[in-house]
Amino acid sequence: MTDYYEMEQEARYEQFREELVADALKDISRNQIHAYLFYYGDAIETRIRESIETAKELRTTGFWGPSLVSSSIAIELTVRFFILTPLVQGMFINEEWADILTRHIVSGHTAKDKEVVLRVLKAWDVDLGQIRLPSGGSLWQCLTGVIWPTRNKHVHGGVVVSDDVSLSAVEAASLLVDLAEEVLKKASGLRKHGGTWGNPECGRSPFT
């Protein structure tokens, strides 16, 4: 009887210990993401949304190729600086190792970004394969099958870009940054105040 009681108590203690460790790790993760957004969030989001606005203006004046390029810039900035960097850093306790891994992932190789971003977002219950554009198409299929390939062909081969593609790119860029913002709010517990992530006096830019 005593052995059974002791085993039951030990099992309860072990469960409690595991829950305590999990909660501690979650707090550490949240704090790292929170700090990243506090310092860099405003500079990153401003540059992304400015690129989207530029893409919209170029599209309305018939410059569909440059519009696509500007939307692609917004998309890549969102993937690298507004999804991968904060969320990957938030998964690690050691800041030095987090920095090394983040640099490896966001080193500029878009192919690597494609492989990782789906898994990172799934960790926060977001399935990019299920997200739809306002026009009805799949966001992820549009990114991988239309936007990035067409952008590369336009930049490197002078391929003419259609209005439909430039519109899809604007929609995809806008949807992706809004999606990233909601995930980061959930991951960090941080809420924007007056349209900003942190104190403007403490803001920094990851681009300089």
Confidence check: pLDDT of 177 > 90 = yes
pLDDT on residue 135: 85
Residue 155 pLDDT level (bands cut at 50, 70, 90) = very high
C-alpha span between 124 and 27 (Å, rounded)? 15
Coil vs helix vs strand at 187: helix
3-class state of residue 196 by DSSP: strand
Q: Interior CA angle at 173 toward 104 and 144, to 5°?
A: 60
DSSP 151-167: HHHHHHH-PPPPHHHHH
Contacts of 68 (CB under 8 A, 6+ apart): 55, 147, 150, 151, 154, 161, 165, 166, 169
Q: Tell me the one-letter amino acid at 40.
A: Y
pLDDT digits (tens, 9 = 90+) for 49-61: 999 999 999 999 9
Distance CA 105, CA 19 (A): 30
- Ramachandran region, residue 204 (left: φ > 0; alpha: ψ -120 to 50; beta: rest): beta
Could you tell me the pLDDT band of residue 32, with boundaries at 50, 70 and 90? Answer: confident
- pTM of the full predicted structure? 0.78
pLDDT per position as a tens digit, 70-119: 999 999 899 888 988 888 776 664 556 556 655 555 454 555 556 678 87
CA distance 148 to 69: 9
**Please, are residues 29 and 90 in contact by the beta-carbon 8 Å criterion?**
yes
What's the pLDDT score for residue 121?
83
User: Has residue 16 got a pLDDT over 60?
Assistant: no
**H runs (alpha helix) in the chain:** 2-60, 64-77, 85-89, 95-105, 110-122, 139-142, 148-157, 163-188
